[in-house]
Copies of this chain bind each other. A is one copy, B any other.
Amino acid sequence: MTRGAPVTEKRHPYLWGDPGQALDDEAVAGLRALLAEQFPGADLRDNPLPDWRQAALPAPRLPVPTALQPLVHDDAATRLLHAAGRSTTDLLALRAGRIVAPDLVATPGTDAEVAAVLDWCADSGAACIPFGGGTSVVGGVNPSAGERPVVTLQLRRLGRVLEVDTVSRAAHVQAGATGPWLEDQLRDTGLTLRFYPQSFEFSTLGGWIATRAGGHYATRLTHIDDIVECVTAITPTGTWTSARVPASGAGPSPDRLLLGSEGTLGVITEAWMRVRPRPRWKLSCAVSFGSFADGAEAVRALGQSGLEPSNCRLLDPAEAALTHTSSDGGAVLIVGFESAHHPVDAPMDLALEAVRDHGGEPGAVSGRGDAPDRGRDVEGAQPSPVDSWRSAFLQAPYLRDVFVAIGVLSETFETAVTWDRFPEFHAAVSESARHAIAEACGAPPNGHGSPVLGCRFTHVYPDGPAPYYTVLAPARRGGEVEQWDEIKEAVSETVHAAGGTITHHHAVGRDHRPWYDRQRPDPFADALRAAKRAVDPQGLLNPGVLIDP
């Protein structure tokens, strides 16, 4: 058994990621001052970070076959790093010592070793949790407490780009590749996946496929689904490899059954992915609106125009202020176009014309192009609203570590809903969230010093937006997990009742099960349950997620 360094040694078991990238003391002090202003009278003292070395983990409950010992880890750091995903609830529970770690962590380096780990779990009666970056915010990788031993199957050793087909623009990639690693390996080819979820630093291709993650593009290629060419998964009963073709009409798509299967049908080990050249032309613009509702109408027009901007993110006033994109009390739309093939001035001009027709006031267009006359980069030394938004987006998970530490509840929920329902939906969800936050955290539902509830559109379809809500509220110390659970339950009920999906791109995991179970058609649930039994007859794979036996 491998007793050496933990397999994701850069990460702290109780924090988002690499402590070396965390906010420094000065930044934390600044943030605390800002929050003190937002939440006057709130207790913002540090919750000290417990020493993970003090965590008492029970001894692993299953022996490891000799042949697998080199792949299996039982050290506390590795087990703790695989004890939970990275929702606020996960981080709070870890700090509170409410930890259910896997008995063991296996790190196979080949498909045959993945199959061997599954065989071992089958022989031992263990559950097996496939694990990529562990960045789930829905309880997608958390072991369940109980009699059954748990082996977490960590895929990061399967992280190589195996082949790049520059003619068809496709890359054969192992599922354990993280965002940066995948892009590093593609760099010499001039091609890129351009898939940037907020978890990009740690999350993996296999995790993106298993959870139908949402990426870079706000329209058109929104989910990973749209850039998958074919997938291989190892199931307990055999290998599932779909045909590598650009499209097919031969029966229901095998890939679409793996997409969103969240580790319950098989361990995704590799995929052919559609890649593209890096964009040569890029333009962005921040457009101001008097209100979120005005902005939403403009986004509807843009989403139905066929222009398909690469970026189309509408921030309500609270989100705009939170991300330093704007502080004038209005809504802001970040709209962008990019292309590796041609200048994008023409579609940008059409898009700005469309949003102006709906009361939008575009700022300067920034960007770059190959030819000097193409780029309309009019930025000065000050960061543009577009830059501010992007840097806030990427830094958010590290910021959240600070919120968790100083007793501020910071979490998000996201959905998608058709345009006809959106105004009532948004009103109902906002009301429900404000009310639940006040109930749970004791803050007044409105006015200065009230909790922050922000909304942005992360992705936009012709028939509706994908709204993403951010909550920021001073927690009552000691019961933070229960407080968030109450809020989450209230808003999930409203999201479901008002016609939204329980998740647009965060997946179902264990946390969304009650609403997912009501959202999905019953005969489909029967079909999925039967499909799982067929490929995983012992129910080894990620029990509790998506479906029960």
Binding site for B on A (CB under 8 A): 165, 167-170, 211-214, 222-223, 229, 233, 235, 237-254, 256-262, 265-266, 274, 276, 300, 304-307, 339-342, 346, 350, 354, 415-420, 459, 461-466, 499-508, 512, 516, 519-524, 526-535, 546
Contact = CB atoms under 8 A, between A and B. Distances in A.
A247 B240 CA distance: 26
A250 B211 CA distance: 8
The 8 closest A-B pairs by CB, nearest first: A246-B464, A527-B531, A530-B534, A256-B256, A246-B461, A530-B530, A248-B501, A212-B249
21 contacts: A168-B419, A169-B462, A237-B526, A239-B523, A245-B501, A246-B416, A246-B461, A246-B465, A248-B503, A249-B501, A250-B512, A252-B256, A256-B257, A265-B527, A305-B342, A306-B342, A341-B354, A526-B535, A528-B531, A530-B531, A530-B533
Nearest to A417: B245
A247 B306 contact: no
Contacts of A307: 341-342
Contacts of A266: 523
Contacts of A465: 246
Contacts of A516: 250-251
Contacts of A415: 245
Given A257-B256, A523-B239, A527-B257, A276 B213 contact: no
Contacts of A262: 251
Contacts of A531: 527-528, 530-531
A404 to B, nearest CB: 25
A533 to B, nearest CB: 6
B238 A418 contact: no
Contacts of A229: 418, 463
A252 B248 contact: no
B170 A244 contact: no
A346 B343 CA distance: 11
A486 to B, nearest CB: 22
B464 A245 contact: yes
Copies of this chain present in the complex amount to: 2
Contacts of A237: 523, 526
A249 B213 contact: yes
B342 A521 contact: no
A310 to B, nearest CB: 10
Contacts of A259: 252-253
Contacts of A533: 530
Contact of A239 (B244, B420, B512, B521): B521
Contacts of A306: 339-342
Contacts of A499: 243-245
A250 B524 contact: no
Most buried by B among A249, A339, A500, A519: A249
A520 B253 CA distance: 9
Nearest to A231: B521
A528 B252 CA distance: 9
Given A257-B257, A261-B252, A524 B242 contact: yes
A535 B527 contact: yes
A459 B503 contact: no
Nearest to A253: B256
A527 B520 contact: no
Given A252-B259, A260-B250, A276-B462, A418 B244 contact: yes
A531 B306 CA distance: 37
Contacts of A341: 304-307, 350, 354
A246 B246 CA distance: 24
A451 B233 CA distance: 44
B463 A168 contact: yes
Contacts of A524: 240, 242, 254, 257
Nearest to A254: B524
Nearest to A265: B527
A507 B253 CA distance: 12
A520 B170 contact: no
Contacts of A502: 250
B248 A253 contact: no
Most buried by B among A339, A462, A512: A462
B246 A417 contact: yes
Given A527-B531, A530-B530, A168 B464 contact: yes
A304 B223 CA distance: 19
Contacts of A247: 222-223, 416, 459, 461, 464, 466, 501, 504
A537 to B, nearest CB: 10
B501 A170 contact: no
Nearest to A248: B501
